[in-house]
Structure 1
Amino acid sequence: MLSNNTQKTKILLIRHGECRGNIEGLFRGRSDFPLNENGIRQAQCLAEEIANLGPIDFIFTSPLKRAFQTAEIISKKNGDVPITPLQGFTNISLGPWEGRKKAEIMQEYPEEWALWINCPERLKLPNSESIPDVQRRAYSTLEFLVQKYAGKTFAIVSHRAVLKPLIAACLQIADPYFWRIHVDTASYSIMMYEEERGYCLTLLNQTKHLANFTSEWI
């Protein structure tokens, strides 16, 4: 039975704005692309949209430029919310695929590409992370935050290869889940957390504030 004083923690899950890697069809990984001009506009629109949702207590972000810049723009529009970069939310390390065109990878790595398209949770490249690796570190980081900041509202600014496994972990969605969850650049989703019930996804991939974005499906 739920108690009357159950604390609800509100978590905004935000994907960074557009960067060159998005529009050129590149695997990004840890390649440190900054926001492009459209990405900056997207982040500004996102910041205004988030300002309408109520106050934010904290912003936690991937340390990579495209996420950190997005977080900075959101912070300025929302009363200079404190920003903390956390390695737990940095992007997946893709080893030899990073910064390369997806069309080239499809030709050079046909077996691995088939895994990426059909069941990326099983993909393991040399000197890289797997999606289960990313899921473990991101979920562990989130679990720490919801315990430390119970009853607060905070934002996480990260990457699709982090947010999708993180959402799956919170909702206990089994493999293969990666292509069943979609988050666009500069979108936001909302997760609520209660100690007794755990996580509840109340909004996924909100993009109504955006005039222009590239939707990526591979």
Structure 2
Amino acid sequence: MEKDKTTVYLIRHGECAGNKENRIRGCVDFPLNENGVRQAHALAEAMKDKHIDYIYTSPLSRATATAAILGETLGLSYEAREGFCNIHLGPWENRLKAELAVEEPEKWQTWLNQPEELVIEGGETLDQVRDRALAELNKVIEEHRGANIALIAHRGVLKPLMAGAIGVQRPSYWRLHVDTASYSVLTFDSLHGYCLMGLNFTEHLKGLPIIQEFD
């Protein structure tokens, strides 16, 4: 059974300006800021003893830059897959959260209380993100059964992905938390399916600022 067990390190990208300014990021291609680069290097050091075999990432630059730093440290290349791209949020993208809370209070309260029910014209729902990200992860695991895989993505992907993998009931989005440049550990085997072994490890970021987002 040990040979069948696949370990996935679910990594949130390092900090970007959208995090620091408290904006809705979505698919706006924010690059890592200086602190985000430092976070990514600290994350890479923490991954040195994890025996990573493959690196997959969202195609957005804050994720690919984190993947590149990790890959350089581990001597691995990375592959970007669209299934791990951040949630599309249409006209909300790049908007300040404080402004949206005033301009669209009903939808904002839905986001805070029943996020899976939020529907934005031109955007995705969290359920849609869950389904496409989990389908992509299933493909990766089938390609590399028994390997150790690093997956770099976004809060808006990793949280619904984890919830879908282990069957957390809705509303699930606010029941899981991942900081920038944190890692969580998800395993998969044929007998048990998915198991969340650890959530939001951040010890490697000691001394670096972490912006904790709860909205």
Does the TM-score normalized on the shorter chain lie above 0.5? yes
The alignment status of 1:60 with 2:56, answered yes or no, reads yes
Q: Which residue of 2 aligns with 1:22?
A: 19
SS across alignment from 1:51: coil
Aligned CA-pair RMSD: 0.9
Change (3 A) 1:32 1:195: same
Q: Which residue of 2 aligns with 1:196?
A: 191
Distance 2:142 2:81 in 1: 16
Distance 2:83 2:191 in 1: 25
Cα contact 1:17–1:35 (8 A) shared by 2 = yes
Cα contact 1:32–1:64 (8 A) shared by 2 = yes
Distance 1:97 1:135 in 2: 19
Q: Which residue of 1 aligns with 2:145?
A: 150
Deviations 1:8-33 (A, max 9, x none): 10100000000000010100000000
Aligned-residue sequence identity (percent) comes to 46
**C-alpha displacement at 1:6, in angstroms?**
5.0
Q: Which residue of 1 aligns with 2:126?
A: 131
Distance 2:89 2:157 in 1: 13
| TM-score, L = length of structure 1 | 0.96
Deviations 1:76-106 (A, max 9, x none): 1112x12110000000001011001000000
- For residue 213 of structure 1, the aligned residue among 201, 210, 213 is 210
Cα contact 2:11–2:151 (8 A) shared by 1 = yes
- For residue 172 of structure 2, the aligned residue among 162, 174, 177 is 177
Q: Which amino acid aligns with 1:8?
A: K
Cα contact 1:11–1:192 (8 A) shared by 2 = yes
SS across alignment from 2:191: coil
> Stretches of 4+ moved more than 6 A in 1?
none
Specify every segment of 5 or more residues in structure 1 that has no aligned partner in the other structure, as ranges.
Answer: none
